[in-house]
Amino acid sequence: MSGSQRVLVTGATGFVGSWLCRRLLADGAQVVALIRDWDPQSEFIRSGDVNRCSVVSGQLEDYAAVERAISSHEVDTVFHLGAQAIVGIALRSPLPTFESNIRGTYNLMEACRVHRDLVARVVVASSDKAYGESAVLPYTEDMPLQGCHPYDVSKSCTDLLAHTYAATYGLPVAIARCGNIYGGGDLNWSRIVPGTIRSVLEGKPPALRSDGTFTRDYLYVEDVVDAYLSLANQLEREDVRGQAFNFSPERQMSALALTRILLEVLGRADLEPIIQNNAQAEIRDQYLDASKAKRILGWTAKFTLRAGLERTVAWYRDFLGAAP
């Protein structure tokens, strides 16, 4: 991204959105942020990055707000990260999840279609959840999208809508499907990494919703930002436009194994995780094949799990005011 590019980020106040905006600003891009709620704890706001961006107040469910963000600021690049991103909330409240994740996506795609004279590239942040449950792993990009639970279905629909606008209208869209993303700034404490860190810094043993055997791949947030930028910077290529790409370190592990590594990084390997075994509407095993991203985009994860976790722990120590 260069200083001449005007970039819209939906979900700018979210965990990954905050990191993406920081990187875009560092690269000299002019950033427009679509913001629904003003959350003072968001890293995007806490850091002051919001003061270096143009802000459009509105929500994805409101087409007029989305269209205004693109038109009024003459946006040429869009990163669509805005979504209700928590599996448990989607289970309890499917309707607002569908409204933000599905209606929000087709509103954005339509606004980009209407302003094709402005919009040159669109990167849609999807998820491994879009694939749904599969007996065959790792997921590859040619596998069907068959989400079953509310959050998974919303991501399957996000992907399909993006593909529709690429295939039917020639919209320059690419889709990023990532595994479990972790890093500083994630304030969704129900997630395994921030939840474990906060519990340990409070002197409490971490609790696992599952039985500890559910497997995932875990991708550090700065690697995710690199993935999104790699897609945007190569979207003029025929073998990238309209395509979906998996992004993963290609190292899967159980929730319990991840927790134990995190306890080592925190210096509290003596704590024994509490197995709650009450997870609902969650897929047991999920991990991705990222060979397509490596072959076509030249992308690979730069951070080892331990290095990413060390940087993550340092962020939370600072945020929570915990002694090293």
- Provide the CATH topology of domain 188-216+252-285+303-319: UDP-galactose 4-epimerase; domain 1 (3.90.25)
- pTM for this entry: 0.96
Between CA 20 and CA 225 the distance in angstroms is: 6
pLDDT along the chain (324 residues), means of 10: 83 97 97 94 96 97 98 98 92 96 98 98 97 95 96 96 98 97 95 96 93 95 98 97 98 96 96 89 91 98 98 96 72
* Residue 218: partners with Cβ closer than 8 Å, 6 or more residues away: 179, 180, 181, 182, 193, 249, 253, 258, 305, 308
Q: What residues form DSSP beta bridges with 77?
A: 7, 121
Tell me how far apart the 2 most distant CA atoms of the chain are, in Å.
59
pLDDT at 3: 58
Closest CA to 223 of 181, 193, 192, 259: 181
Between CA 314 and CA 324 the distance in angstroms is: 8
- Provide the CATH topology of domain 6-181+218-247: Rossmann fold (3.40.50)
Pairing of strands 180-182, 207-208: unpaired
Q: Which sequence spans correspond to the domains of the chain?
A: 6-181+218-247, 188-216+252-285+303-319
The reply to whether 6-181+218-247 and 188-216+252-285+303-319 are identical in fold is no
Catalytic residues: 151
pLDDT at 107: 98
pLDDT at 323: 65
**Two tokens at 306?**
């331990």
CB 96 within 8 A of CB 84: yes
